[in-house]
């Protein structure tokens, strides 16, 4: 996982959530989308769209999520998504 | 769409299928994070937020199923002009989907209704649901989802705000209460293949028989779970849908 990817994720989250993100503390690899950021499901969808705009079709976030049950989605951390993205980009 | 800004999301490639979500607690994430990606393995999946829901424009009126069927028709015409597409609606979205299919059957190839309260007529379950406050609505969620909402003050507050808006600031409740029976002549000659999926423990389970009585070409399936089948049994729902659409 690269620090670039984590920084990109933080920037995209800011676009989705807005200034409210500041109230939730700093975002790093260990930040959990659900318990730390308290993201709503529709915000998760908006983040998926941002990822697609940013990285294009080779990062298929939606299909990756589809393989996970709700418990796994709730437990997702920034590092999980960053590693997924890096994996997609390096396999080209 | 229809004078309202509608939030749309798409995934996958292949024959188009449009997904319609239910009222109040639902938005397109109800599909997007459950069944939609499973269908997107072999299809172009299009889902959207109903007016006043999710990231679509908040509007004061137009929440009856016939009116929302016009929104749906515009979504289909805009994103798949001239195509014949598949259509799936869950809960009240099933009623919207059925209304749309009855109004313009030539636009659709196959129709799936997931635990839809049908045919539309007032009965106690709907009244009880509409009279419920936000706490009661959240209490009706499957255990896992309920915990998910209640563990987060932010999520609970945002849910209360969006549902509270729809219940108190729009005509949604009056529109739903004012729903009339679909006129019988509309069903005449309606031969679209329909799959009705119902939850074994759903309060709308008995509607399967009503659906079959109104539609000549209907298959019925029962899967484990209550009313919120997309969350409770996404794999099973996706499997039934895929089998039906591929037939």
Q: What is the pLDDT of residue B162?
A: 87
Q: Any idea where the domains of chain B sit in the sequence?
A: 8-124+180-246
CB contact under 8 A, A62 and B27: no
Name the residue among B156, B189, B22, B41 with its Cα closest to residue B90. Answer: B22
Residue of A nearest to B9 (CA): A49
Q: What is the DSSP string of B21-66?
A: --STT--THHHHTTTHHHHTTTSEEEEEPPTTSTTSPP-SS--SHH
Q: Which of A25-34, A62-71, B31-40, B203-212 has the lowest mean pLDDT?
A: A62-71
Q: What is the DSSP letter of B82?
A: T
Helix, strand and coil content of chain A, in percent to the nearest 5, comes to: 65, 0, 30
Q: What is the pLDDT of residue B130?
A: 66
CB contact under 8 A, A62 and B40: yes
Contact A21, A14 (CB under 8 A): yes
Mean pLDDT of A37-51: 88
- Report the gap between the CA of B60 and the closest CA in chain A (Å): 21
Q: What is the pLDDT of residue A8?
A: 92
Q: For B12-42, write each residue's pLDDT tens digit.
A: 889 999 999 999 889 999 999 889 988 998 9
Q: For B155-204, write each residue's pLDDT tens digit.
A: 888 888 888 888 889 999 889 888 888 888 888 889 999 999 999 999 88
- Report the gap between the CA of A19 and the closest CA in chain B (Å): 14
What architecture is the B8-124+180-246 domain classified under in CATH?
Answer: 3-Layer(aba) Sandwich (3.40)
Exposed e or buried b per residue across A30-64, where buried means at least 16 C-beta atoms within 10 angstroms of its C-beta: ebbbbebbbbbbbbbbbbbbbbbeebeeebbbbeb
Whole-angstrom distance, CA of residue B166 vs CA of residue B196: 28
CB contact under 8 A, A45 and B28: yes
Indicate whether B121 pLDDT > 60: no
Contact B15, B85 (CB under 8 A): yes
Number of Cβ within a 10 Å radius of residue A92 = 5
Best mean pLDDT range from A52-66, B100-114, B128-142, B220-234 = B100-114
Mean pLDDT, all residues of chain B: 89
Class (C level, CATH) for A3-90: mainly alpha
CB contact under 8 A, B152 and A34: yes
Q: What would the two tokens of residue A74 be?
A: 């709730």
CB-CB: which of B33, B40, B144 is closest to A41?
B33
Residue of B nearest to A43 (CA): B29
Q: Decide if A63 touches B, using CB distance below 8 A.
A: yes
Indicate whether B59 pLDDT > 80: yes
Omega before B97 cis (within 30°)? Answer: no
Q: Which of B1-5, B76-80, B128-132, B213-217 has the lowest mean pLDDT?
A: B128-132
CB contact under 8 A, A70 and B38: no
Whole-angstrom distance, CA of residue B143 vs CA of residue B183: 38
Q: Any idea where the domains of chain A sit in the sequence?
A: 3-90
| B148 neighbourhood in chain A, CB within 8 Å | 34, 70, 74
Is the ipTM here above 0.85? no
Residues in contact with B208: Cβ distance below 8 Å, sequence separation at least 6, in sequence order? B196, B198, B220, B222
CB contact under 8 A, B29 and A44: yes
């Amino acid at each position: 996982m690269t620090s670039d990817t984590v920084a990109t994720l933080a920037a995209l989250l800011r676009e989705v959530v807005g200034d409210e993100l500041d109230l939730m503390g700093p975002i790093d690899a260990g930040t959990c989308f659900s318990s730390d950021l308290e993201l709503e499901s529709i915000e998760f969808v908006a983040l998926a769209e941002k990822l697609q705009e940013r990285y294009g079709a080779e990062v298929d976030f939606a299909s990756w999520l589809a393989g996970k049950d709700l418990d796994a989605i709730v437990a997702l951390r920034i590092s999980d998504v960053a590693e997924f993205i890096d994996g997609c980009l390096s396999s080209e | 769409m229809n004078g309202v800004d509608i939030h749309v999301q798409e995934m996958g490639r292949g024959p188009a299928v449009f997904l319609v979500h239910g009222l109040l607690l639902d938005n397109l994430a109800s599909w997007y994070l459950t069944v939609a990606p499973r269908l997107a393995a072999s299809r172009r999946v299009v889902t959207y937020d109903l007016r006043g829901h999710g990231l679509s424009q908040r509007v004061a009126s137009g929440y009856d199923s016939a009116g929302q069927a016009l929104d749906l028709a515009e979504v289909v015409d805009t994103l798949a002009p001239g195509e014949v597409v598949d259509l799936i609606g869950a809960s009240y979205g099933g009623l919207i989907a059925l209304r749309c299919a009855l109004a313009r059957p030539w636009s659709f190839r196959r129709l799936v209704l997931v635990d839809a309260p049908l045919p539309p007529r007032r009965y106690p379950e709907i009244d009880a649901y509409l009279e419920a406050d936000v706490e009661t609505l959240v209490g009706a969620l499957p255990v896992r989802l309920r915990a998910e909402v209640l563990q987060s003050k932010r999520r609970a507050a945002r849910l209360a705000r969006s549902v509270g808006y729809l219940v108190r600031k729009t005509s949604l409740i009056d529109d739903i209460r004012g729903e009339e029976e679909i006129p019988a002549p509309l069903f005449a000659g309606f031969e679209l293949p329909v799959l009705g999926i119902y939850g074994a423990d759903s309060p709308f389970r008995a509607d399967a028989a009503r659906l079959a009585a109104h539609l000549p070409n209907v298959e019925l399936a029962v899967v484990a779970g209550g009313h919120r089948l997309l969350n409770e049994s996404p794999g099973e729902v996706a499997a039934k849908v895929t089998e039906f659409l591929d037939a």
